[in-house]
């Protein structure tokens, strides 16, 4: 295994692409305090804010995504890609890394292509069960392809020798999050000993999920479980106003909150989750063995959330409701079916845990050290 002293990281746009790279960086830094890192992203992505806060050198290049249909914009994107590759090449040549890691987003294309053409060891990390267009493009050129779902192997079928099942570092982080025994009482004024359902639509909330849960809020009264509905901050005031307008009194076993900052700690006290099926969320659920009712977002590229959900459903680790089929009655029936049938809930938990990978950061680091040797 080669010791890594210098690493280039790239991944952009969303936290789901950035946090895996940060997890790997922190592990390498813990093992080698002298580690030097350069993060190449875009000025518009979340990475431009997050990365400098971590004390990592950050440089930006300009790139936009390809359209899936014929478009003049793709001509502009092709030109930008070439120009960005040249800029990335100069950055990489000056930095002289031992290895280059890309964790998703359009920015990885010029960075990883430049690194591969310069003959630096390279690795990409695909978090979803269906590969993004950037990683499909890069698969031919990189040294290793890290995946989180076995289903995505078919998207890289010509490069099986490069594929390694690593999982997502977020799983390892959430498993190592400390248990807080009284969190339901202290944070939500709920019963710590009563089975609990968490309904949420991601950090920004999902209007369809919110509406289905709010419309059914009275029906949760007197159930033998309790419910937390996290609406997302931008939807909270409107939903509370709607509840007040309809003169609905939230039952004592239901809490409506705008946002949950410490989601990993809360997850550890939850029995069932109703949520979207983004890669990071599913990683957390599988690592913890958390049963779930998944409602994929129909508004994402390549419909990857539905494919992610199907990967769990096929292993009996989750149930799925398509948003077009979502209404208050359907949601309540699904929740009751699991919360009142504890055997099914337990089996789903076991299946989810079987899919979880709780040493993903370690696996990625081992692969990086192997190709850096």
Q: Are 39 and 51 in contact (CB under 8 A)?
A: yes
Closest CA to 271 of 201, 196, 204, 341: 196
Closest CA to 85 of 101, 100, 102, 107: 107
Question: What are the strands of the beta sheet with 36-41, ordered from one edge?
Answer: 57-60, 36-41, 6-10, 99-102, 122-126, 144-147, 163-165
Q: Which string of b and e fits 71-94 if b means at least 16 CB within 10 Å?
A: eeebeebeebbeebbebbbebbee
Closest CA to 313 of 285, 342, 352, 350: 352
Q: Is 42 annotated as a binding residue?
A: no
Q: Is 297 annotated as a binding residue?
A: no
What 3-state class would DSSP assign to 146?
strand
Q: Is 15 annotated as a binding residue?
A: yes
Structure tokens at 117: 């053409």
What 3-state class would DSSP assign to 369?
helix
What 3-state class would DSSP assign to 106?
coil
Q: Is 211 annotated as a binding residue?
A: no
Q: Is 238 annotated as a binding residue?
A: no
Q: How far is CA 69 from CA 15, 18, 130, in A?
A: 27, 28, 19
Q: Is 305 annotated as a binding residue?
A: yes
Q: Is 167 annotated as a binding residue?
A: no
* Cα 280 from Cα 59, distance rounded (Å): 25
Q: Are 319 and 289 in contact (CB under 8 A)?
A: no
Q: Are 146 and 256 in contact (CB under 8 A)?
A: no
Q: How many residues comprise the chain?
A: 373
Closest CA to 21 of 45, 47, 53, 2: 47
Annotated binding site: 14-16, 128, 203, 260, 305
Q: Binding-site residues for UDP-N-acetyl-alpha-D-glucosamine, please?
A: 14-16, 128, 203, 260, 305
């Amino acid at each position: 295994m080669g010791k890594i002293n210098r690493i280039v990281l790239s991944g952009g746009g969303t936290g789901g692409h950035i946090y895996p790279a940060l997890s790997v960086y922190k592990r390498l830094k813990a093992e080698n305090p002298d580690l030097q890192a350069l993060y190449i992203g875009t000025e518009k992505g979340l990475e431009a804010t997050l990365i400098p806060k971590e004390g990592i050198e950050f440089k930006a290049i300009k790139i936009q995504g390809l359209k899936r249909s014929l478009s003049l914009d793709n001509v502009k994107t092709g030109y930008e890609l070439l120009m960005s590759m040249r800029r990335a090449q100069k950055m990489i040549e000056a930095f002289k890394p031992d290895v280059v890691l890309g964790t998703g987003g359009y920015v990885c294309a010029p960075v990883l292509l430049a690194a591969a053409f310069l003959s630096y060891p390279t690795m990409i990390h695909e978090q979803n069960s269906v590969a993004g267009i950037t990683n499909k493009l890069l698969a031919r050129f990189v040294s290793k392809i890290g995946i989180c779902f076995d289903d995505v192997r078919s998207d890289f079928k010509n490069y099986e020798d490069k594929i390694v099942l690593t999982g997502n570092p977020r799983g390892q982080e959430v498993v190592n999050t400390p248990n807080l025994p009284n969190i339901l009482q202290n944070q939500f004024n709920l019963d710590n000993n009563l089975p609990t359902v968490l309904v949420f639509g991601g950090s920004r909330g999902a209007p369809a999920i919110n509406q289905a849960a709010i419309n059914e809020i009275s029906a949760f009264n007197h159930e033998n479980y309790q419910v937390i509905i996290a609406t997302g901050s931008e939807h909270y005031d409107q939903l509370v106003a709607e509840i007040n307008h309809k003169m609905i009194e939230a039952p004592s076993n239901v809490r409506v909150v705008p946002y949950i900052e410490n989601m990993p700690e809360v997850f550890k006290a939850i029995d069932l989750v109703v949520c979207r099926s983004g890669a990071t969320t599913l990683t957390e659920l599988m690592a913890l063995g958390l049963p779930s009712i998944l409602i994929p977002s129909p508004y994402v590229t390549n419909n990857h959330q539905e494919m992610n959900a199907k990967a769990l459903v096929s292993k009996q680790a989750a149930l799925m409701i398509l948003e077009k089929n979502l209404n208050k009655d359907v949601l309540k029936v699904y929740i009751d079916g699991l919360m009142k049938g504890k055997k099914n809930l337990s089996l789903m938990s076991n299946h989810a845990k079987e899919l979880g990978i709780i040493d993903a950061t370690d696996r990625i680091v081992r692969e990086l050290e192997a190709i850096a040797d």
